[in-house]
Amino acid sequence: MNLFRKKSIENILKAAETEHHGSLAKHLGVKDLTAFGIAAIIGAGIFSTIGKASADGGPGVIFLFIFIALACSFAAFAYAEFASAVPVSGSAYTYSYVAFGELFAWIIGWALIMEYVIGNVTVAISWSDYFTTLVSNVSGYEVNEWLRMDYFTAKKSYADAYVLLTGGQTLDMIKANPDTAYLIEGFYAYGSAPSIGSMKLIFDAPALVINVLITILVYRGIKESRNASNIMVLIKLAIVLLVIFVGAFYVDTKNWHPFFPNGVKGLLSGISSVFFAYIGFDAISTTAEECKNPQRDLPRGILYSILICTILYVIIALVITGMVNYSELKVADPLAFVFEKIKDLQWLAGIIAVSAVVAMASVMLVFQLGQPRIWLAMSRDGLLPKAFGRIHPKFKTPGFSTIITGVMVALPIFFVDINMVTDICSAGTLFAFILVCGGVLKMRATQKDYNPKFKAPYINAKFIMPALLILSGVLWYVFDKDTMLYYFKWESIHAFMTKMPLYMFFIGFVVLSYLSFKHNFSLIPALGLICCFYMLSQLGYKNWLYFICWLIIGLAIYFAYGYKNSKLNIENKN
């Protein structure tokens, strides 16, 4: 059983040109790709998670944005290099097929479902929250509670509130308590929802509607999707620049002191929130077959979008932490919040709410573009049924895969709480980044004929990576000695499990340092790999377990269908 059979770049390019399913329409240039990247990146991060990260890290959160931007940029160089070498749909799935073989390709293709499909569930629910708030503020109409949340959250909130009510509290008391106020919406939703038999009818209607609309747009064509994305990007960039320009006049530099109020620990606690703000740039690489000049434009589009978004994130973070004290920013809508607090600027809060709705929709658009093209590539290789690879004869899009993506996003909206999936989505994305960076290192070290048109600048990591390993250990001991010593103590199985992700990180760091010394690895992809591995180690062991369970399900599907129907397997038998 050969689970690591590989596809050559030459064969992949040839198959994409001669594939009998049809070809995708080529409409994208570097401006369109950059816009897609901005559309994917500027969304939930700048309108939501930046608040929590700023509350934890203070004004110094800008350094966390810069660090994660650098880590993503290292990974982006690897994506750009592979995209120029293998300019076909498939992104990290195809790159892993070339570098590591079929089994790893399947694993990463399965993991990317967590980024694109589950990520879009998160964005759809966030979009619904902003949209219903906007409707309420503009028209005064309140969307019924049972039409704006998931069933299980409503049921649990109702049960918890009922216990408090039978214990002698009133609804006003529950609402007034910050620790229980969140139960009220679910209590009303479950109590007022219509029933079908014994089942309450509760679902997030706005999230479902936006998912259907985005799916229809993506199904209609890449040109239509490009035009819609460009318009939405222009709108939200205009709003972001307006916020920066107006807010700068109300910055009080006293709010920047202390700059690191909660120290390094507080700063690093925002890693998950800030990283989620950068998810999506890799979706650009899935559109390779729809680019006019992918070898030239894909690398530029990926890197330009990260650079532009990082500059905007840093400036926005400085503005909002300068306008109000960082401790007040742990809210769901930080941009609107800071402008509502200043009487002269309350008019801008409504504009921000509108731009948030536009921003979330553009993120959904790019994610909804990415997943069908991954499935298209997997279908071409025989790992998924042929239906997933069909190109619509009129619209020149992977029509069936687009519809299935829409359905897979729609179903969890009925029962998934947004807080459940954010970190799991980040885990799948980071895993993809690690494999792509590792793939570049492997290709450069083992494939003499590997010569992409775009190549990340080469800096020898032979001595730098071991030096960074030693330096990181020294700095950890100097700045957080107690935590470091804690990791060398045995307490219990549970404590060991909580420490396991960081153990795995340092084992990986040691291995990478050794291989860098032995094979003269290139520094940029090596840094991308280790930075992404570190962020993965900060997501907590439970997210690792959820991710492993997801991979086990994927492997079961691979061995039940993919391995037997793989084109490489069939060719080898013949």
Tell me the pLDDT tens digit for each residue of 442-464: 989 888 778 888 888 899 999 99
* Domain-embedded: residue 452: no
- Alpha-carbon distances, residue 14 vs 8, 11, 65, 86 (angstroms): 10, 5, 40, 11
Taking Cα atoms as reference points, which of 441, 490, 120, 494 lies closest to residue 279? 120
Residues 230 and 163 in one domain: no
Q: What is the pLDDT of residue 20?
A: 43
Q: How would you label 465-499 residue by residue, b for 16+ Cβ within 10 Å and e otherwise?
A: bbebbeeeeeeeeeeeeeeeeeeeeeeeeeeeeeb
CA distance 554 to 108: 10
Q: Which residues pair with 56 in a beta bridge?
A: none
Residues 361 and 412 in one domain: yes
Q: What is the pLDDT of residue 417?
A: 63
* Residue that finishes a domain, picked among 416, 440, 465: 416
Residues 189 and 134 in one domain: no
| pTM, to two decimals | 0.83
Tell me, what DSSP letter sits at residue 144? Answer: P
* Domain-embedded: residue 250: yes
Q: What is the pLDDT of residue 572?
A: 63
- Alpha-carbon distances, residue 435 vs 95, 204, 528 (angstroms): 9, 35, 10
* Domain-embedded: residue 94: no
Q: What is the pLDDT of residue 258?
A: 85
Q: Which residues contact 12 (CB under 8 A, 6 or more apart)?
A: 86, 88, 94, 97, 98
Number of H helices, E strands in the chain: 27, 2
Residues 363 and 384 in one domain: yes
* Domain-embedded: residue 530: no
Instruction: Evaluate the CA torsion angle 301, 303, 308, 309 in order and state its sign.
Output: positive
3-state secondary structure at position 195: strand
Residues 183 and 244 in one domain: no
Task: Give burial (CB, 10 Å; 0-12/13-18/19+) of 519.
Answer: middle
Q: Which domain holds residue 305?
A: 43-65+116-139+207-416
CA distance 520 to 104: 24
Residues 177 and 214 in one domain: no
Query: Structural domain tally of the chain?
Result: 2
Q: What is the pLDDT of residue 569?
A: 67
Taking Cα atoms as reference points, which of 206, 56, 190, 55 lies closest to residue 126? 206
Residues 213 and 256 in one domain: yes
* Domain-embedded: residue 490: no
Residues 195 and 338 in one domain: no
* Residue that finishes a domain, picked among 165, 185, 202: 202
* Domain-embedded: residue 434: no
Low-confidence residues in the chain, pLDDT < 70: 1-2, 15-24, 44-45, 48-49, 272-273, 331-333, 416-423, 569-574
The CATH number linked to 255 is 1.20.1740.10
Q: What is the pLDDT of residue 421?
A: 65
Residues 161 and 56 in one domain: no
- Alpha-carbon distances, residue 304 vs 30, 37, 307, 532 (angstroms): 9, 8, 5, 20
Residues 195 and 323 in one domain: no
Q: What is the pLDDT of residue 141?
A: 81
* Domain-embedded: residue 422: no
Q: What is the pLDDT of residue 223?
A: 80
* Residue that finishes a domain, picked among 372, 396, 416: 416
CA distance 160 to 190: 12
Residues 224 and 191 in one domain: no
Q: What is the pLDDT of residue 21?
A: 44
Residues 198 and 216 in one domain: no
* Domain-embedded: residue 554: no
CA distance 335 to 361: 18
Tokens representing residue 166 in the block: 């039978």
